[in-house]
Amino acid sequence: MVSVWRGRSRLPGSLTLWYKVNMAMQAAVKSAIPVHVAVIMDGNRRWARSRGLPAAEGYRRGVGALRAAVRAALAAGVRMLTVYGFSTENWARDPSEVLALMQLCTIFARTELAALRRQGVAVEIVGDIREFPRPARAALARLVRATAHNRRLTLNLALNYSGRAEIIRAVRSIAHDIESGSLRARDVDESTLRRRFYAPHQPDPDLLIRTGGDFRVSNFLLFQLAYTELLTLPCMWPDFSEDDFARALIQYGERCRRFGS
């Protein structure tokens, strides 16, 4: 039997991925394949530094890892994939690095459009990209429009996103409605808050994968992660592969989710 745990198999690429995903499905005896997987794509800069490369090269190579995650999610039947692309805190990084990230957003939106349409992937933006440069905003808006009809997988790009800012934004909206008289304080509940989030109708993540070996959520989906299964991987994001995604699904399937009960 070909192992999904050790190195690379000798099966052709597509067959290898099919085999590994099927192994993940068979191993998921206590839980189904997750509907929604979230990913903190950490380790791009460390990957670049360890090779004597500029940080921008780490981010560029990370796009290949994102392609791999999308392919693996599609093969497994995951319905939603949310990736942390740019946080509000990232603006504090070196200006040249921020510029490289903005340019990469533009390039990604333009070059990946055809493949994502062909794969049946719908792209949505989670966050406030009004501060992004005009070319990036335009390219991302076109990507969202061009893939809106797709149904196989929803790919959420969390850009200029902050979990705290999202909650504050929702609270301010509720406070405004209470002040205006269109909402009573006693009617405020969890659904009232959710309706004011960036993606109000999307389910909470079942699984969060963080690469890079750190154990923190970094201000990502703070409200939505309440009962999400967390998995930290030692590999840096540019090295993330279909194998890693399949192994994450296997570990998820072996867990028993109790939701506090």
Question: Of 42, 206, 243, 244, which residue is the catalytic one?
Answer: 42
Beta bridge partners of 159: 86
Tokens of 144: 């969202």
- Active-site annotation holds for 156: no
Question: Of 22, 90, 150, 219, which residue is the catalytic one?
Answer: 90
Helix 95-111 crosses helix 55-76 at what angle (to 10 degrees)?
Answer: 40
Contacts of 84 (CB under 8 A, 6+ apart): 38, 39, 40, 41, 158, 161, 218, 220
Q: Which residue do the tokens 């009232």 mark?
A: 192
- Active-site annotation holds for 187: no
Nearest to 223 by CA among 171, 160, 146: 171
Cβ–Cβ < 8 Å for 68, 62: no
* Catalytic site positions: 42, 90
